[in-house]
Structure formats: C-alpha cells, structure tokens
C-alpha cells in the first residue's frame, strides 16, 4: 500500500520527501557511522543541524535580529504557563482574546498561577465560529501583552490580520498555522508553535521572542522554565529533542523549495478554496462551521445534516484513502486539516469525494 491522504489535525502529514530522506539517513547519518539521534547534542554534526534549523527559521520567516528563536520542550501547552510566568510581573496584567479551546486552556493556566488577566473578547456565545472584530474590544494599554491564537485548530477559524495593539506586545499561539504565511513583526512580542502541525513531528515548541521580553523579570521561576536561560544557551541548556529538530530542519528545507512561506501561502489558498467552493456550492448540504470572513486555511470544519451521515462520510472517506476527517468532539462533524504538507492532490481528491458523496447520499 502507498501513502494515503491524511487529514489529521496533529500530529499531521509530513512531506513524503523528508520522510524518505530521514529513512535514508537513519542508520548512517552523512557517513558518521551513526544515526543523528545517537550523537551527542554537543557534537559538531548535531550542532550543524540545530543551527541550520534556526537560521532557516530566521530567513524563511524573516525574523528580525532583535528576536531569539528557541526550541523548547513540553509542546505548545507548556507555553500556556511559561508565557504568564515570564512576562507578567508583580502587579502587572495581560489581555486575552478567547477564540476556542486552546485560548481557554491558556487562560486557565494563567489563572492557576494567580496572574491578573483580562479576557477582553470572546466568540464563545456562537460556539467560536468567528474571530472577534477589533471594534468589539479595547486593549488595555498597560497590559504586558495581548494573547491570541492565530488559528483555531478545533473550530476552524483564523485571523486574516493580527490585531493592531498600539505598542502592546502581541503573544501568538500559531501552533496550527506557523510558516503558512508571512507575518508582520511590528507588534509581535512572542510567537510560538507546537511543531506537530505545520513544522515537523510532536514534542517541541518553536518560540520566537523579542529580546527585550527575554529577561528574568520574576525571581521564582524554575530554571528550565525561563526564556532567558534558553536564549543564553542557544536552546542547548539541557538535551533538546534532537531528532525532532533534525526533522524540523528537513521540513524547513522542503518549505524553502516550495518558495518559502510566501510560496506555500499561495498553494494553501488554492487548496482551501477547492474545499470551501464545494461547501459553498452545495446548497446547504455541507454547512461550514466558521463564518466566512474567519475561515481557516489550515483546518476546514463543516457539518452534514445528521450525525449518521457525518459518520458515513468519514468512514467511506477512509475507504477512498482519505483519513482523519472526523471533527473534534466539541464541534462534531467533519474537519479536514490542510497544513503546508498536504499536497494539492489531497485536496482535489477530497473535493471530488465531497461532490460524489453528496450525489450518492441526497
Ligand atoms: C495542538 C495545539 C496546541 C497544543 O499542542 P501540544 O503540543 O499538544 O501541547 C496548542 N495550541 C494550538 C492552537 C494547537 O493547535
């Protein structure tokens, strides 16, 4: 059996090319007589991989010089507490916009720490089907940051433009859309992503933090949870997940071959359009969850008229080589994750499958 089209939300599909390269180098990495995962994280061959990955992130994502690029453990979820721990000091506050489960979790962790945070906008009343408009909220100009999730993996909504913050640093959970479009760095204080959706395999977060925020503001933070210590040590304070970083590096080279984030953005727009067009031309047979102006290019969520039909859609899809289409339990229905590594052919096949299914299941 060959490769199938995998629409899982994460861990998610990876480019076949990089899997093949990793397979070919697995036992003997560049004539070293060992695998990259067996070598010391202080060795020259590993350091080359590590530093190449950082410099590719810098060049492809156009990261300005006044930011650190860090590889941190504990996935994206550890950032939910590291951010308030490091960035909110005694007597200080931060603002959050709640657009779904992942921001909810981040809000909860900040509160566990006893931090004084304000949820200034939320789309909860309509089951997170949209991104709140800037006219609906006011950012506290004394906030240490404004926290958003740029793409809401579960509900299928995405910011088309980051909020204008007038100098308040933006903190962005970009776990499910990092490297899928170029960003405007003007207001960004920190942008981070768990690696398993758009950057590689699971187990790590890429954190890009402005240097002036990367300071030891609070004294009671365990060493491993301090941004400053990881920045001082080039993310080699302790043993990093070396094999994950190796695969992230291969993935970034692949991204470069696709024209970088600008090139992949065009491809992603084309891919998502194939599926949204079927939804919009289905006369209500497929009902998109997200409001049109908040639609995600990475996670496309929709419902059919009954649970039974949705189950049949996902099951028969599997038989046609389209897997991972079942939606998250909080939205139900169907979710197709179309991250950078999903080939155009996968989306073409899904769009055709949707048309055929509709015809055969009126
Ligand atoms: C998947 C995801 C997370 C959680 O990632 P983990 O690495 O499992 O902690 C956080 N935020 C968003 C937006 C996600 O999509």
Q: Tens-of-pLDDT digits for all 362 residues of the chain? A: 679 999 999 999 999 999 999 999 999 999 999 999 999 999 999 999 999 999 999 999 999 999 999 999 999 999 999 999 999 999 999 999 999 999 999 999 999 999 999 999 999 999 999 999 999 999 999 999 999 999 999 999 999 999 999 999 999 999 999 999 999 999 999 999 999 999 999 999 999 999 999 999 999 999 999 999 999 999 999 999 999 999 999 999 999 999 999 999 999 999 999 999 999 999 999 999 999 999 999 999 999 999 999 999 999 999 999 999 999 988 889 999 999 999 999 999 999 999 999 999 98
332 CA → ligand 1 middle, Å: 19
Query: If you take atom 10 of ligand 1, which residue's CA is the nearest one?
Result: 76
194 CA → ligand 1 middle, Å: 6
Closest approach atom of ligand 1 to CA 196: 7
277 is catalytic: no
177 is catalytic: no
Confidence (pLDDT) at 362: 87
331 CA → ligand 1 middle, Å: 17
* Residue 99 CB–ligand 1 contact under 6 Å: no
Confidence (pLDDT) at 67: 98
293 is catalytic: no
Query: If you take atom 3 of ligand 1, which residue's CA is the nearest one?
Result: 76
* Residue 194 CB–ligand 1 contact under 6 Å: yes
166 CA → ligand 1 middle, Å: 28
Query: If you take atom 12 of ligand 1, which residue's CA is the nearest one?
Result: 175
User: Which residues on neighbouring strands pair with residue 143, listed in sequence order?
Assistant: none
């Amino acid at each position: 059996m060959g490769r199938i089209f995998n629409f899982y939300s994460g861990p998610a599909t990876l480019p076949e090319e990089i899997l093949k390269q990793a397979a070919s180098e697995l036992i003997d990495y560049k004539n070293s007589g060992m695998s990259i995962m067996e070598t010391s994280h202080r060795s020259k061959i590993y350091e080359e991989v590590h530093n190449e990955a950082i410099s590719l992130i810098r060049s492809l994502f156009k990261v300005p010089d006044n930011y650190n690029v860090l590889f941190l453990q504990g996935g994206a979820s550890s950032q939910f507490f590291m951010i308030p721990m490091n960035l909110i000091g005694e007597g200080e506050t931060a603002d959050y916009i709640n657009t779904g489960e992942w921001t909810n979790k981040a809000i909860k962790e900040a509160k566990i720490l006893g931090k004084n945070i304000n949820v200034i906008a939320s789309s909860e009343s309509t089951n997170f089907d949209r991104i709140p408009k800037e006219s609906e909220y006011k950012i506290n100009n004394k906030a240490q940051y404004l926290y958003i999730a740029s793409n809401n993996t579960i509900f299928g909504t995405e910011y088309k433009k980051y909020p204008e913050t007038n100098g308040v640093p933006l903190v962005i959970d970009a776990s499910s859309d990092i490297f899928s479009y170029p960003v405007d760095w003007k207001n960004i204080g920190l942008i981070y992503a768990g690696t398993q959706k758009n950057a590689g395999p699971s187990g790590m977060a890429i954190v890009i933090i402005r240097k002036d925020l990367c300071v030891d503001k609070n004294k009671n933070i365990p060493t491993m949870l301090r941004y400053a210590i990881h920045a001082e040590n080039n993310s080699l304070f302790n043993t990093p997940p070396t094999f994950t970083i190796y695969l992230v590096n291969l993935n970034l080279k692949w991204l470069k071959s696709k024209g970088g984030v600008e090139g992949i953005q065009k491809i992603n727009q084309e891919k998502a359009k194939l599926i949204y067009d079927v939804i919009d031309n289905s006369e209500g047979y497929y009902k998109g969850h997200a409001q049109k102006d908040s639609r995600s290019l990475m996670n496309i969520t929709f419902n059919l008229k009954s649970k039974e039909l949705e189950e049949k859609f996902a099951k028969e899809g599997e038989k046609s080589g389209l897997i991972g289409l079942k939606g998250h339990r909080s939205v139900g229905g169907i979710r197709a994750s179309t991250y950078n590594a999903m080939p155009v052919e996968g989306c073409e096949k899904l769009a055709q499958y949707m048309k055929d299914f509709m015809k055969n299941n009126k």
